[in-house]
Amino acid sequence: MTNTNSPSSPPLDDRSRALRRLILDGFFGGGRGHVPSALSLVEILRVLYDDVLRHRPAEPKWAARDRCILSKGHGCLALYAILADKGYFATDVLKSFCRRDSILGGHPEICTPGVETSTGALGHGLSVGIGMALAARLQKRPSRVFVVMGDGEQDEGSVWEAAMCASKHRLDNLVGIVDYNKLQSFGPIEEIQPLAPLADKYKAFGWAVREVDGHDVAALHRCLSGVPFGARKPSLVLAHTVKGKGIDFIESDANWHHKSTVPTDVHNKLYEALES
């Protein structure tokens, strides 16, 4: 299936491929996972943790840190990969993904160093982010809150209740990011629940909105370094991505949304496709 609505992104560089290898390490270690949903997130999380967020891996609970909430919790393999890469825990821990007694669950949990809140039930992350942004304001902390959501997640009514609330409170320390890969678990967004014009909808709810190629590292850096986009307004980034980005035979294929069994020979094909 070809996703004709996604941008023609620059080729993946060595760092983006290395992070994807870590995702595959976790996937094969646990024997299950939402790989395409993680692969579409890599550059978004990479730019956040490399260049934008104020955070301290050696001091995960540093009070003045920025908060990043992965509301689309099923994409957690990408978050785990970047947290391991940054030193929140050892990269070898990725191979324990979803195993008994592992700190890495199938959705993010607060027992994992660097994870701000437990997520997985879609539609809740933005509301939690509002609470964190309000707390930062009341406590006069410089902390900003970044909430990464899925596009299928926009079907949840709680997202739009939160969007109204964020605008009401003029939370310019709150940034929503939509991983806009245009494919959800059962098929294309346009067939299941069309979202367009999504940017205009958020603008009508009082948000300042920008759109960006979600796999273009330089463009993401320019965009996310410019928050807030409007005075006394929450910011929304529509990051146009490709589900499964980097592995051509699973890109934009809803059949790969989640896998719990993958033959050994397919393991090698995934790595080989990533390198090619």
Q: Which helix (H) or strand (E) holds 67?
A: strand 67-70
Q: Which domain holds residue 177?
A: 14-275
pLDDT in tens, 202-254: 999 999 999 999 999 999 999 999 999 999 999 999 999 999 999 999 999 88
CATH of the domain at 244: 3.40.50.970
What is the count of structural domains for the chain?
Answer: 1
Average pLDDT, 10 consecutive residues per value, the chain (276 residues): 58 97 94 92 98 98 98 97 98 95 95 96 97 98 98 97 98 98 93 96 98 98 98 98 95 85 85 89
pLDDT at 138 (0 to 100): 98
Is 51 in a helix, a strand, or coil? helix
Q: Would 96 be classed as within a structural domain? A: yes
DSSP string of 106-139? SS--TTSTT--S---STT-HHHHHHHHHHHHHHT
What is the spatial distance between Cα 171 and Cα 207, in angstroms, rounded to a whole number?
9
Strands 235-240 and 183-184, sheet pairing: unpaired
Specify whether the CB–CB gap between 120 and 158 falls below 8 A: no
3-state helix, strand, coil in the chain (%, to 5): 45, 15, 45
Q: Would 34 be classed as within a structural domain? A: yes
Q: Would 7 be classed as within a structural domain? A: no
pLDDT at 7 (0 to 100): 62
pLDDT at 131 (0 to 100): 98
pLDDT at 6 (0 to 100): 55
Q: How much is the pTM?
A: 0.95
Q: Would 2 be classed as within a structural domain? A: no
Q: Would 235 be classed as within a structural domain? A: yes
What is the spatial distance between Cα 224 and Cα 187, in angstroms, rounded to a whole number?
29
pLDDT at 191 (0 to 100): 95
pLDDT at 126 (0 to 100): 98
Buried b (16+ CB within 10 A) or exposed e, 17-40: eebbebbbbbbbbbebbbbbbbbb
